[in-house]
Amino acid sequence: MQSGMCVACLEFVYGGKFMIDILVSDGMTRGVVTSGGDETLLEAARKMSKRNIGSVFVLDEGMPVGVLTKTDVVRRIAEGVSPSELVINEVMSTPVKTISHNCNIVDAMKEMRRFEVERLAVVDSTGKMVGVVSETDIIVVAPGIIDLLEEKANADLPGIYSENEVVSGVCSSCDEYSDKLMMIDGELLCEDCRTNKE
C-alpha cells in the first residue's frame, strides 16, 4: 500500500482542517511478538513463520531497541550467510521508528511515508512498546476513515469550499475522481455533472 496517497488526499480535500478521530491505539495490533537480541535469525524466522508476521521486535526493559524483518533475514540468506550463524543484534534495524498510542492514524500514515517503513512500534507515554501499527492495520481501519470523509463531504461545510473554487477529489454525484470539482448547491461536482445539472 502506498500510504502517502491517502494522506495527500485527506490533507488536500480538507486543507489540513479536518481531524480524523481514529487513534493509533484503535487500529494497532497488540500482543506483538518479541525476541531476545541474542536469538539467531533462524529462531526469529521460525517465530515469524509460525505467527505469519513480517517482523519481530527486540525490547530493552519494555522499550523497542531494534526490529528484524523478513526482508532482513532474506537479504542475509541471499548474501550466503547461514541464518543459524547470526544473531538478531547483528542484523536488526535501529533505532526503531515509533509513534505514540494516542496519535491519530493519519499521523501514523505520515510517519510511515516519511520514514519509508511498513510498520511503526506503538509506545505509551513512558516509551514502552504497547503494539505495532502497520500498513495492513491502516487498511483495516480505512473504511472508517472513508466513512468519515464521506460524512464530511456530504455535510454542509461552510467555509471549506467557496462557490467557483476548483479542487480535486471524488464527485458527489458520479463518484468519479476529478481534478476539476466545484461546490454547487452544497455538492462537489465534476465538469460533466455540473453540465448535466444546468
**Do residues 133 and 119 touch, judged by C-beta distance below 8 A?**
yes
What mean pLDDT is predicted for residues 125-143? 88
How much is the pLDDT for 145? 64
What's the predicted TM-score (pTM) here? 0.64
In sequence order, what DSSP letters do the residues of 118-149 get, joined into one string? SEEEEE-TTS-EEEEEEHHHHHHHHHHHHHHH
Q: Using 50, 70 and 90 to split pLDDT, how confident is the model at 156?
A: very low
Side-chain half-sphere CA neighbours of 34 within 13 A: 20
Domain boundaries, the chain: 3-142, 161-197
How much is the pLDDT for 173? 86
Q: Does the pLDDT value for residue 187 go beyond 90?
A: no
For the domain 3-142, what is the CATH code?
A: 3.10.580.10
Q: Using 50, 70 and 90 to split pLDDT, how confident is the model at 92?
A: very high
How much is the pLDDT for 170? 78
SS3 83: coil
How much is the pLDDT for 41? 94
**pLDDT tens per residue across span 35-67:** 888 999 999 999 999 999 999 999 999 999 999
SS3 99: strand
Residue with cell 513463520: 49
Q: What is the mean pLDDT of the chain?
A: 81
pLDDT more than 70, % of the chain: 78
The residue that leads in pLDDT, 183 or 151, is 183
Side-chain half-sphere CA neighbours of 125 within 13 A: 1
